[in-house]
Amino acid sequence: MPKEVCGPVLRYIIRRLLQMSGVIVVLSLLLFLWLRSLPGGTVSAILGERATPESRARLEKALGLDEPIYLQYFRFVGRALRGEFGASTGVLPGRDAFDIFLTRFPATIELSFLAILIAVVVAIPLGYVAARSRGGWLDNASVVASLIGVAVPVFFLAFLLKYFFAIKWGLLPVSGRQESLGCTRVTGFFVLDGLLTREFDCSWSALRHLILPAFALASIPFAVVFRITRAAVLDVLDEDYVRTAEAKGLTKQVIRGRHVLRNAMLPVVTTIGLQVGALLAGAVLTEKVFAFGGIGEALAIAFQMRDYSVLQVLILMAATVFVVVNLLVDISYAVIDPRVRTR
Amino acid sequence: MMSDAPLLSVEDLTVTFGRRGQEPFRAVDGVSFQVRPGQTVGLVGESGCGKSVTSLAIMGLLPQRGNTVSGRVDFEGTNLLELSTDDMRDRRGRDIAMVFQDPLSSLNPVVPVGVQVTEVLERHRGMTRKAAMPVAADLLRRVGIPDPDRRIKDYPHQMSGGMRQRALIAIALACAPRLLIADEPTTALDVTIQAQILALLKELVEDTGTALIMITHDLGVVAGLCDEVNVLYGGRIVERGARHPLFRDPRHPYTNGLLGSIPRLDAVGERLTPIPGSVADNLPWDHACAFAPRCSQPIERCTQVTPVLEESFGRALRCHNPVEVPR
Amino acid sequence: MTFKRKAAPVVALTVAALALTACASSSRDSGTDSSAAAGGTGTFTFGAAGAPKLFDPFYATDGETFRVSRQIFDTLVSIKDGTADLEPGLAEKWEPSADGKDWTFTLRKGVKFTDGTDFNAEAVCKNFERMFDQNEAGAAAAEYWADTMGAFKSDAANSLYKGCKAEGDDKVVLSVTAATSKFPAMLSLTSFSMQSPTAMDKGKANEVAKAGDGFTYPAYSQAPVGTGAFKLEAYDEANKTVTLVRNDDHWGDKAKSAKLVFKIIPDESTRRQELQAGSIDGYDLPNPVDWKGLKDEGNQVEVRPAFNIFYLGLNPKAGNENLKNLKVRQALYHAINREQLVATQLPEGAEVATQFMPKAVKGYNADIKPYAYDVEKAKSLLAEAGATGMTLKFAYPSEVTRPYMPDPQKLYDAIKTDFEAVGIKVETETKPWNGGYLDNVSGSKYDAYFLGWTGDYNSADNFIGTFFGNLKSNRFGTEAQDFGPALSDALKAADAIVDEDERAKAYEDLNKKIMEDYLPGLAISHSPPAIVVSKNVTGLVASPLTAERFASVEVKK
Amino acid sequence: MTDPLTSYGQSRKARIDALAATSVAESGTVEEAPGLSLIASAWQRLRRNPVFLLGAFITVAFVLLALVAPWVAPHDPAVGYLLDKVRPQSNPVPGPEPGFPLGADSRGRDLLSRLIVGARQTLIVGVFATLGGFLGGLVLGTLAGAFGGWVDSLVMRIVDVMLSIPSLLLAVSISALATRPSQWTVILAIAIVQIPVFARLLRGSMLSQRSSDHVLAARALGIKQSAIVFRHMLPNALGPVIVQATLVLAVAIIDAAALSFLGLGNPDDRKPEWGQMLGQSQQYLADYPHLAFWPAACIIVVALGFTLMGESTREALDPKSRR
């Protein structure tokens, strides 16, 4: 990027980051109030049947849950500013909630990344081909297929995949992230760790565990990426510059790559970034079906156990990730679209 | 400089659009004309008259589905309509080039202008990007873009409308084609720029000996540029003639009408007389003259018998009741 | 489907990789080959429903934590495999004083903790002093101690625990402030496991601290040292597996499996599928619906004797005056077709309950007859009480299954239909178990509700004492019933009887009274919880307390 | 871009706005090829579009089934006819037998009847959730679009924030708050999630119409603001709203199933709904997958039907796609 454009872009990023932190603060307040207004609570989750009013009061006092909510919130903010998010009470009691996020997050990234990858690898070529044969049987069939992806509840698709590939045919593992091979942990990304440490059986096992959940989860971005690609390619094919390119006698490959896809990819790139939110929601369902130890599963357990610290951290971090990814998408948009970049 | 063997010979070109369940529609209906090397030929008519479809048919750029093309398009003795798509690809940009109407939308917004020039050279001249760059800069200089070495890195949105059109012309002329088709190249531009671009085109065509097909709705454009003019209406040529005779003595009521709707500096005080109605009022050519409903002097025969194109003394006319006294 | 590790070519690479990634945590190289001589070399993989919270059972309240701790630790008093009866554990025998306040334990000799330190009288007293001496956070976390002993050192006057004295190396005197039926059975609770004092000092075992909305536990809680048949090798949080290895120096029979792996799979049906796929060898509490399918696939479904009670609690404090009338409560009892309920809704081996404790508990009264299903009687009792057509706010929990209550909603539907058949208007309420249901039950928000209890150890007090002993606050609102104080006093009196037979008699009488004269709630049924292992597994002895030790378990190939 | 939560919301926004823009085209301010209005020409294309026809066929069949369900169902879906055969271990789910072609569920109730009656309940959930979202969106969108100014800014801020949260997570949160879960809390949760979609759609179409000829004309004639809104602007916005509604209906049905799967659905199953049936079949998946298969298949087919219809109509209405 030329020097003169760096200034505005940097300023833009800083402004976005400031706004972002504002949103996170507001969100943290809303989240705090929401969690505290949920029926039930940490204490019930810890004590179960044996909760007596005394043990309840004792625990509430010890946890500071008997204080007024505004006081609890200030304490929470104070701690959060010091980087302390509190200890978990349900998911992994005693562990710092942020550590739990750090332990669990790589799993979700691995899963989401592979899901996006699958979706992109299949959806973009399919979207292109469908657009080129607009109205033909291939187009209609792939449109219907992509909409089936929308119509099938993701947890049911997850179950179907598991039922056939894992249980019935025994091709892939049923659940979890890896067999207990005693693998070395470096980054928390199991596939990567295995490659780094050359424990290739670990990578292989992790990959096999990833396939089914990733395909299930891929159904969410797949439909969207396909439709956007198809629509974008249709739009671009109609553009004059494509006709110009044809008039120049350029080869099909150059026209497809430089003139059609490069332009059509602009909305597609944005869309892929935007799928992060939907992916997180889908991950909760998918990880539940595959007992895949990511933040989706942790979120479900934390919710069930009313583990406030963990819920707060997970949701705030999810929101942060979401916002950061959006920012990255906007920046990448600026990078790939000269009209934005050199404005 | 005009030789007798035509460079391009279009014979009985017919393009029919059809959609499932709808009446097929003939956009171009038996059009024939010739272009000799170095000659500038105009195709004139309102939007919807078939002039753009004709040019696209010559270029082989019509959509692959939903239309049928018949007739012949002989270019240097080869019928372009029978070429395979790959062979046609080899010719486009090298032998025949085209400049489109809207210079902004005709340039790829995400690719630097320079690359859009060099890619033609890479394709047809087999040059590398690196070798093509100075050539491209030179081309840009030739079409009058100042500081081409810097401009070559610009994106289309960073250029003005006129400059973009110049860049498009540079792209079209990059491989020194023998035929250039310009489809309304000035319509989207400011009036002052229009004149510059037309002058540029004229200059370049004369310098390089490139034949030019000028497609426009604006007889004013034709007047300054073309050797021969074809007037199209409803997919058929209704009148043809060399520039001066045609302008001086338009025989077809439509040509006459078109001339009448041009503001003229030498006719102060005269009212402009637009042609009434629109293309939607057309009759089918089958048993009538399509222009009859809008014609200023229709006779009974016009709605009963299809007029034929009759040639005489280098002019051609398709009319039952030609204009005797031009307005 | 089984996953066979293609280990051979990888081992060499692994060693190299380990050298490269010195900073990474690994348990890969700590193989178990060296100890193969002591027993089998197999691995037993168990599907756990949840993660163990920590490895110091003193601060734990949940079954998944106890399940792991139980393999690592021993208790002074142990439970005989397959029963709820006591047997010698780390203590070979025990003797109470005449007033039941001083208990002398004779310890097993030659026992060592896995860190090599000796288990002796001093270690026992250090354990108890440690449990007794808790800071505020620790006191709140140590629920079982608070529950059974009442208080900690800071409030010593209200504590049942008085002191511990070592007499020589192998004799310990534990003193309590009042005689109680809980002693010594409560010492069999996994929470009161004997842990290495040296390791606890080193890991600062008592330093529980409040952090945000939860507690943080000291380093020791992740590095437990006990005397049990296994020791902790690794807890892979990211991969949700806990790996234990055999303690080859265990004082008793050595464990048959070299390795014990707990794989955490929160979802019930997924555990089933993993067993089908062969990647785990067993799991706890299979859904009764799956029992048949599991057996058909050749697995062993071990049904434990029921040591629980499922009841329909009634609470007049929620505002329904009719519930203060014994006739109304009896009418409700007669209205329920429990025979059919047990046959169609509960697992095989479930029984209709006649009182608030299962048969195995000392103090169970075998003479009590169940309330018969009698719609007419129910109607006439309601009429006598002037409560015909009464409204009942009746609740059940969602998002939960308990051993005594496999499918709350189905049970609810059945009983609701029965109630409606005698003209009662039922207002249905439901909440997630942790999402307000338990709060509302203890907060007296429901007239009637489902709840139950699985015994911690064999004591009548652990059942009816827990239910009705605390007059001020119990879930049956007995404070608002005229019999409430009498019941509470009688329970306390029975608990303090030192002589076992006399005490048993007192509880039998109390049970009869509770069922016939008081009826604070409706005891419904006892359901046997099951545990399932694959056909290759041998040596599993199911425990009524759902407290299996896996030392005897082996996977035959 | 000023809103930091932007892009995700932005793309949803863009999609909605594109649809909203079609309402102006419909109202005739865009020059048209003679003889065919936009709707008519859209219909011309749709009539021949196999994707649309498939969707329409499914939808019509589903609605018909839902209407006649109580008379078609062979048995009462709430009565456990085969309860006597239910044994928790040996026979938890009775199989097919004469009169019960698909067998029964775990409470001995006829599965076929439950599926048939389920069509009606599913339609109810879908329609009411959509209607709720529409009415909420109508209030907000009309406020914002008709009055503009600070009302507009305020309303659209709220709407944008709501749009930036993934809809399922929002629905889960809302239903977790319900004190007495029922069919209506499910409907409410899904409806609330859809409010911003409709609000933005209606506002967009109002805004684009405010400057359109016929509204300007009406204003010039001195017609009251409210009359302009309700008589001129709203009717013109209906096209895109109906398209969006068909899409939302499908989403509502799927979201209802997800809520049930997460244990947040309607606990009362005497009048079954497909999502609920699917959610409740979880514990029988291993041995009795047909309990999950049938309701899942129904959901998929119906959701597909609505989506096919909605998407193809959207495309047909999109002026860009007419070529």
**Cβ contact A143–D254 (<8 Å):** no
Q: Residue B284: its pLDDT value, please?
A: 83
CB A90 within 8 A of CB A54: no
DSSP letter at A251 equals -
What are D234-270's pLDDT values in tens digits? Answer: 777 777 788 888 888 998 998 888 888 877 788 777 7
Q: Residue A52: its pLDDT value, please?
A: 74
For D38-79+100-321, CATH number out of 3.20.20.70, 1.10.3720.10, 3.30.70.100, 3.90.105.10 equals 1.10.3720.10
Q: Which of D89, D106, D181 sits opposite C430 (nearest CB)?
A: D181
What are D205-237's pLDDT values in tens digits? Answer: 777 776 667 777 777 777 777 777 777 777 777
**Cβ contact D283–C435 (<8 Å):** no
Binned at pLDDT 50, 70 and 90, residue C34 comes out as very low
**Cβ contact A247–B124 (<8 Å):** no
Region D127-143: mean pLDDT is 89
Q: Residue A87: its pLDDT value, please?
A: 84
Q: Residue C199: its pLDDT value, please?
A: 94
Region B184-210: mean pLDDT is 85
Q: Please report residues of A whose CB lies closer than 8 A to that of D167.
A: 281
Q: Please report residues of D whose CB lies closer than 8 A to that of C292.
A: 89-92, 287
Binned at pLDDT 50, 70 and 90, residue B188 comes out as confident
**Mean pLDDT of all residues in chain B?**
85
User: Does D32 score more than 60 pLDDT?
Assistant: no
All domains of chain C, ordered by start, with CATH? 43-258+530-555 (3.40.190.10), 308-526 (3.10.105.10)
**Mean pLDDT of all residues in chain D?**
78
CA distance D260 to chain C (A): 11
**C47 vs D168, residue with greater confidence:** C47
DSSP letter at A121 equals H
| Dihedral sign (CA A134, A137, A139, A143) | positive
Q: Residue C196: its pLDDT value, please?
A: 95
Region D188-202: mean pLDDT is 87
Q: Residue B185: its pLDDT value, please?
A: 85
**Cβ contact D48–B280 (<8 Å):** no
Q: Please report residues of D whose CB lies closer than 8 A to that of B20.
A: 48
Q: Residue D161: its pLDDT value, please?
A: 66
Q: Residue D33: its pLDDT value, please?
A: 38
User: Does A252 score more than 70 pLDDT?
Assistant: yes
Above 0.90 for ipTM, yes or no?
A: no
- Alpha-carbon gap, residue D17 to D201, rounded angstroms: 6
**Cβ contact A163–D6 (<8 Å):** no
What are C432-447's pLDDT values in tens digits? Answer: 787 778 888 888 889 9
Q: Please report residues of C whose CB lies closer than 8 A to that of A77.
A: none
CA distance A214 to chain C (A): 17
CA distance D48 to chain B (A): 9
Q: Please report residues of A whose CB lies closer than 8 A to that of D176.
A: 38, 303
DSSP codes of every residue in C493-531: HHHT--SHHHHHHHHHHHHHHIIIII--EEEEEE---EE
Q: Please report residues of D whose CB lies closer than 8 A to that of C435.
A: 176
Q: Residue C23: its pLDDT value, please?
A: 39
Q: Please report residues of C whose CB lies closer than 8 A to that of D282.
A: 269
Q: Residue C120: its pLDDT value, please?
A: 93
Q: Residue B283: its pLDDT value, please?
A: 81
- Alpha-carbon gap, residue B107 to D170, rounded angstroms: 44
Q: Residue C134: its pLDDT value, please?
A: 92
Interface check C399 vs A, CB under 8 A: yes
What are A195-230's pLDDT values in tens digits? Answer: 888 888 999 999 999 999 999 999 888 888 898 898
Region D46-54: mean pLDDT is 86
- Alpha-carbon gap, residue A93 to A123, rounded angstroms: 42
**Cβ contact C143–A47 (<8 Å):** yes
**Cβ contact D5–A326 (<8 Å):** yes
User: Does C323 score more than 90 pLDDT?
Assistant: yes
Chain A interface test: which of D2, D10, D11 (most A C-beta within 10 Å)? D11
User: Does B324 score more than 70 pLDDT?
Assistant: yes
- Alpha-carbon gap, residue B238 to B241, rounded angstroms: 11
Helix or strand (DSSP H, E) at C202: helix C197-202
Task: List the single range of B321-325, C181-185, C241-245, C359-363 with lowest mean pLDDT.
Answer: B321-325
**Cβ contact C432–D282 (<8 Å):** no
CB D277 within 8 A of CB D293: no
Helices (H) and strands (E) in chain D, counts: 12, 0
The ranges assigned to domains in chain D are 38-79+100-321
CA distance A148 to chain B (A): 28
What are D78-127's pLDDT values in tens digits? Answer: 887 887 777 777 777 888 888 888 888 887 889 999 999 999 999 999 99
Q: Which of residues 285-304 of D touch A (CB under 8 A)?
A: 285, 289, 292, 296, 299-301, 303-304
**Cβ contact D257–A140 (<8 Å):** no
Question: Could you tell me how many CB contacts below 8 A there are between chain A and chain C?
Answer: 260
**Cβ contact B20–D34 (<8 Å):** no
Binned at pLDDT 50, 70 and 90, residue A8 comes out as low
Q: Residue A207: its pLDDT value, please?
A: 93
Other CB atoms within a 10 A radius of the CB of residue B80 amount to: 22
Interface check D48 vs B, CB under 8 A: yes
What are C416-437's pLDDT values in tens digits? Answer: 989 999 999 999 888 878 777 8
Helix intervals (H) in chain B: 51-59, 85-91, 113-125, 129-142, 148-151, 161-173, 191-208, 219-225, 243-248, 253-260
**Which two structure tokens, joined as six digits, stand for B183?**
């489809």
Region D279-297: mean pLDDT is 85
Region C332-341: mean pLDDT is 93
Binned at pLDDT 50, 70 and 90, residue B2 comes out as very low
Binned at pLDDT 50, 70 and 90, residue D14 comes out as low
Q: Which residues contact C434 (CB under 8 A, 6 or more apart)?
A: A40, A41, A44, A45, A304, A305, A306, C399, C400
- Alpha-carbon gap, residue B54 to B232, rounded angstroms: 10
Binned at pLDDT 50, 70 and 90, residue C328 comes out as very high
User: Does A298 score more than 90 pLDDT?
Assistant: no
Nearest residue on chain C to A32, judged by CA atoms? C213
Q: Please report residues of C whose CB lies closer than 8 A to that of A59.
A: 140, 143
What are C40-49's pLDDT values in tens digits? Answer: 788 999 999 8
CB C544 within 8 A of CB C306: yes
CA distance D294 to chain A (A): 12
- Alpha-carbon gap, residue D198 to D134, rounded angstroms: 6
Instruction: Kindly report the CATH number that applies to the domain delimited by A3-37+83-342.
Output: 1.10.3720.10
**Mean pLDDT of all residues in chain C?**
87
Q: Please report residues of D whose CB lies closer than 8 A to that of C409.
A: 267
Q: Specify the 3-state DSSP secondary structure of C287.
A: coil
Q: Residue B326: its pLDDT value, please?
A: 63
Binned at pLDDT 50, 70 and 90, residue C519 comes out as very high
Q: Specify the 3-state DSSP secondary structure of B310.
A: strand
Task: List the single range of A79-88, B166-175, D311-320 with lowest mean pLDDT.
Answer: D311-320
Region C152-174: mean pLDDT is 91
Task: List the single range of B11-20, C15-24, C158-167, C215-224 with lowest mean pLDDT.
Answer: C15-24
Q: Residue D150: its pLDDT value, please?
A: 80
**A98 vs D146, residue with greater confidence:** A98
What are A14-33's pLDDT values in tens digits? Answer: 877 787 777 777 777 877 88
**C36 vs C453, residue with greater confidence:** C453
Region D165-171: mean pLDDT is 71
Q: Which residues contact D125 (CB under 8 A, 6 or more apart)?
A: D183, D186, D187, D190, D252, D253, D256, D273, D275
User: Does C463 score more than 90 pLDDT?
Assistant: yes
CA distance C115 to chain A (A): 23
CA distance B45 to chain D (A): 20
What are C406-419's pLDDT values in tens digits? Answer: 888 889 988 998 99
CA distance B278 to chain D (A): 11
Q: Please report residues of C whose CB lies closer than 8 A to that of D265.
A: none
Q: Residue A77: its pLDDT value, please?
A: 82
B and C touch with 3+ CB pairs <8 Å, answer no
Q: Please report residues of B whose CB lies closer than 8 A to that of D34.
A: 280
**At A42, which amino acid appears?**
T
